[in-house]
Amino acid sequence: MTPSASPVATTHAAPLFELDRATVVRGATRVLHDLSLRIPLGQHTALLGPNGGGKSTFIKLINRELYPLAREGDAPVKVFGLRRWNVNELRNRLGVVTSDLTRDLQQMPYLRAEDAVVTGFFSSFMVPPHRQVDEGMRRRARRALDDVRALSLADRPVAELSTGEMRRVLIARALVHEPEALLLDEPTAGLDVVARQHFLALMRTLAQRGITLVLVTHHIEEIIPEIDRVLLLRDGVLHADGDRAATLTDAHLSHAFGGPVRVRHEGGFYRAEPDHA
């Protein structure tokens, strides 16, 4: 995200995310087609779809790495009701954890886990030369690590962390501002079976604490029971939008993923497998 002009006024009644006929073109390819959606604060939501369906483009719109096509009328993309936002103000309300952040952290192998969390105050994995890290920041960083059951990692270099441990550190980094919402991009990618279950339990804990979760994924197994709305995206178009039971069906997923899929529901979780019948 990049700093911009002062944001227009808003209230807490504004949606967390709002896209109004947002269209994105990359090269000669239209990757989002007049996409309209509205995610209220407080509604845990999953954005589900196959690779190449437009999920990453949605995240880049929120991060301001991409911009929608300009058109007359209201802004195509708003966050907390703002069409323009300052990164220093937005990060106090919205935490973002993406695969790009994982790669960035891996480039800082000698950084201690606690220091990695502290850098969340500066929107960089480095402390700017003109800024100081005070004890209050360190207390908040340790509290965030404790919140995700990673306080024992505080003094370890990130190079020594497993993928699951690194993911917890990144969540702590996002939580250091005590945000109202978290945007999570494929959070269990690269995790083994045990680490994946631990991470899903962490997601449930965060949701139950009242932090709004927006999960972007192509795995329905990641959609925890607390997530009550699923948006199904394919080829940059919204194909379904509803509660989990209405959206996670054989028909919807078979259409979205381009082949016969059978959906199973057990213990509050959904699972999908190819239907070879």
Mean pLDDT of the chain: 87
Q: What pLDDT is stored for residue 1 in this prediction?
A: 34
Give the closest residue to 53 by CA, choosing from 273, 216, 246, 249.
216
The arithmetic mean of pLDDT across residues 189-216, rounded, is 92
Q: How many residues does the chain have?
A: 277
Task: Please tell me the predicted confidence (pLDDT) of residue 13.
Answer: 59
pLDDT at 7: 34
Q: What Cα–Cα distance (Å) separates residue 258 from each residue in 55, 160, 251?
A: 16, 40, 10
Return d(Cα 230, Cα 241) in angstroms, integer. Answer: 6
Mean pLDDT of 173-188: 92
Structure confidence at residue 277 as a pLDDT band (50, 70, 90)? low
The CATH number assigned to the domain with range 40-62+87-274 reads: 3.40.50.300
pTM summary value: 0.88
- Res. 83 pLDDT band, cuts 50 70 90: confident
